[in-house]
Amino acid sequence: MQKKIKSALISVYYKDKLDLLVKELDKSGIKIYSTGGTQSFIEGLGIKVTPVEEITSYPSILGGRVKTLHPKIFGGILGRRDNESDIKEMAQYEIPEIDLVIVDLYPFDETVKARKSEEEIIEKIDIGGISLIRAAAKNFKDTLVISSRNDYENLLQLLQDKGGVTDIEQRKLFAAKAFLLSSHYDTLIFNYFNRSFGFEVFKKSELQGKVLRYGENPHQRGIFYGNLYEIFDVLNGKELSYNNLVDVDAAVNLIAEFEEPTVAIMKHTNSCGLASRDSICEAYKAAFACDTVSAFGGIIATNRKLDLATATEMNTLFFEVVIAPDYDEDALALLKSKKNRIILRQKQKVVAAKVSKSLLNGILEQDADRKTEGKSDFKTVTEKAPSAEQIADLTFAIIAVKHLKSNGIALVKNKQLIGSNCGQTSRVDALQNAIRKATEFGFDLHGAVMASDAFFPFPDCVTISAQAGVTAIAQPGGSIKDTDSIEAANMAGQAMVLTGVRHFKH
């Protein structure tokens, strides 16, 4: 069902690119209605425009809060052209048909992000605009709605190629876009108010979605919703895959925990290499030495600008992605020598307050695990207290194990993850595997420290760690058999601290 546009209502906040559109509407002989700043803008182009007040016989009132909220405006948009009763009533009340509605919304989200006052934020809750958009979208059989400046070019093309004639599928498409925008806008407003009240509902809206090559496996479809470019500049390489994104998320969350020059090497969201040193090059060499086998095909994250020396070391390894806050020009040129290697410059930290995932017939949400224990949180429960060096390593180990899948064990020496294991159904298995890995890669465990993501239900892990050479332990505590583990540590001459914080990760 084709319709020719004969009249248009235009009321927009953003005026950029509007001039070309308005000139084409005027050229096509389309009658233009407008109000306020948009009316002044159109008149400034030398184009005739009919003020909305001439239709409503009512001025803009309440400081501009009420301009278009009037039956003659909404009747012109909602009137059904194939409904005899509607047509008679429109004639009776002198309601003009409005075939095209071009309206955008006040910048509510931008105002919130700019930390404006509540009064300013509330004034940016659009009422008239969103009502006009919804009305036009509802009556897509007769009315075309343009709810974003991003669609000005599409409308311009329609006007130029089709002479202002649209079909039902085109109008329905723009209606769908309008409801997408209005629902997103309402979600932003609700989430702002819900900061104060904490209603137990899940409201999340992302306007951008990127189809990935595939999901976790080639037979699964994958889409990323969000704007990755707010966080990263992509400097080189192929498109990020589903698995790349999952690992990148794990990498940036881990590396954000460190202040010293640090490098993390990730595989399947777990660190296979992690070290802090005085320079980023030394940190990389130490991180790579943790597990030179698993590092192949991994993701590297750093918290310092990458120099040529570090890039030269890295370039001998095949890896999928590198993330850094910046790169020296010569380092970047070297890293770009592999055309598929993804190089990301991180512009800002990821500071999500909540994490969520779909399961069963709903969504599970929780606070992000932002707790990291340090010296002030440690409660020494053994006869021997940890030394200053051991406290530094225990703090490092807690960060490492916090970011491993449970059950997780981290073995650390001199701020280097020399052994780890994760995702085990038995904590004993996790420890034994961590010891085996450390031994395979030539590390001396004597003087190392151990961190566990959860308490020890039995003293077996303490005993096994002591036999391997571990001299200090950090664990949450909370088992009814904590005393057994403490006694085992005392017998072995180990220092043990309880943190009171569990770090399960599933």
H/E stretch holding 184: helix 168-197
pLDDT grade for 68, boundaries at 50, 70 and 90 = confident
CA 502 to chain CA mean position, Å: 25
pLDDT grade for 48, boundaries at 50, 70 and 90 = very high
Q: Which two tokens stand for residue 342?
A: 């993804």
Answer whether residue 67 shows pLDDT above 90.
no
How large is the average pLDDT for residues 347-357? 89
Alpha-carbon gap, residue 242 to 303, rounded angstroms: 23
Of the candidates 16, 13, 9, 71, which has an alpha carbon nearest to the alpha carbon of residue 34? Answer: 9
Per-residue pLDDT of 223-239, as tens digits, reads: 999 999 999 999 999 99
- How confident is the model at residue 373, as a pLDDT? 94
How far is the CA of 40 from the CAs of 21, 35, 37, in angstroms? Answer: 15, 8, 5
Answer whether residue 115 shows pLDDT above 90.
no
Contacts of 12 (CB under 8 A, 6+ apart): 18, 38, 102, 103, 104, 149
- How confident is the model at residue 351, as a pLDDT? 78
Alpha-carbon gap, residue 123 to 172, rounded angstroms: 31
pLDDT grade for 423, boundaries at 50, 70 and 90 = very high
Contacts of 361 (CB under 8 A, 6+ apart): none
Q: If you search the block for the tokens 């951008």, which residue do you land on?
A: 208
- How confident is the model at residue 396, as a pLDDT? 98
Alpha-carbon gap, residue 198 to 456, rounded angstroms: 36
- How confident is the model at residue 181, as a pLDDT? 94
Is residue 326 within 8 A of residue 306, CB to CB? The reply is yes
Is residue 213 within 8 A of residue 196, CB to CB? The reply is no
366-387 exposure pattern, b = at least 16 Cβ within 10 A, e = fewer: eeeeeeebeeebbeebbebebe
- How confident is the model at residue 442, as a pLDDT? 96
Is residue 480 within 8 A of residue 433, CB to CB? The reply is no
In total, the chain counts a number of residues equal to 506
Of the candidates 102, 138, 89, 141, which has an alpha carbon nearest to the alpha carbon of residue 20? Answer: 102
How large is the average pLDDT for residues 460-473? 97
Cα three-residue angle 78-180-21, rounded to 5 degrees: 65
Alpha-carbon gap, residue 451 to 439, rounded angstroms: 18
How far is the CA of 27 from the CAs of 31, 35, 220, 307, 377, in angstroms? Answer: 10, 20, 49, 58, 73
Per-residue pLDDT of 231-265, as tens digits, reads: 999 999 999 999 999 999 999 999 999 999 999 99
List helix spans (H) across 79-127: 84-92, 108-113, 118-123
- How confident is the model at residue 56, as a pLDDT? 82
- How confident is the model at residue 118, as a pLDDT? 87
Alpha-carbon gap, residue 243 to 248, rounded angstroms: 8
Lowest mean pLDDT among 49-63, 368-382, 429-443: 49-63
Answer whether residue 505 shows pLDDT above 80.
yes
Q: Which two tokens stand for residue 426?
A: 């038995």
- How confident is the model at residue 266, as a pLDDT? 97
CA 238 to chain CA mean position, Å: 20
Answer whether residue 58 shows pLDDT above 90.
no
Per-residue pLDDT of 265-284, as tens digits, reads: 999 999 999 999 999 999 99
233 phi-psi bin (left φ>0, alpha ψ -120 to 50, beta other): beta
- How confident is the model at residue 36, as a pLDDT? 85
Answer whether residue 158 shows pLDDT above 90.
no
Contacts of 127 (CB under 8 A, 6+ apart): 65, 69
- How confident is the model at residue 57, as a pLDDT? 78
Among all residues, which ones are annotated catalytic? Answer: 138, 268
Say what percent of the chain tops pLDDT 70: 100
Is residue 25 within 8 A of residue 45, CB to CB? The reply is no
Compare 384 and 207 and report the one with higher pLDDT.
Answer: 384
- How confident is the model at residue 244, as a pLDDT? 96
Amino acid at 337: S
Is residue 321 within 8 A of residue 244, CB to CB? The reply is yes
- Residues paired with residue 267 on neighbouring β-strands, in sequence order: 270
pLDDT grade for 65, boundaries at 50, 70 and 90 = confident
Answer whether residue 318 shows pLDDT above 80.
yes
Question: What secondary structure does DSSP assign to 319-380, as a single string?
Answer: EEEEEES-B-HHHHHHHTTSTT-EEEEE-S----SEEEEEETTEEEEEE-------GGG-EE
- How confident is the model at residue 108, as a pLDDT? 87
pLDDT grade for 45, boundaries at 50, 70 and 90 = very high
Compare 135 and 68 and report the one with higher pLDDT.
Answer: 135
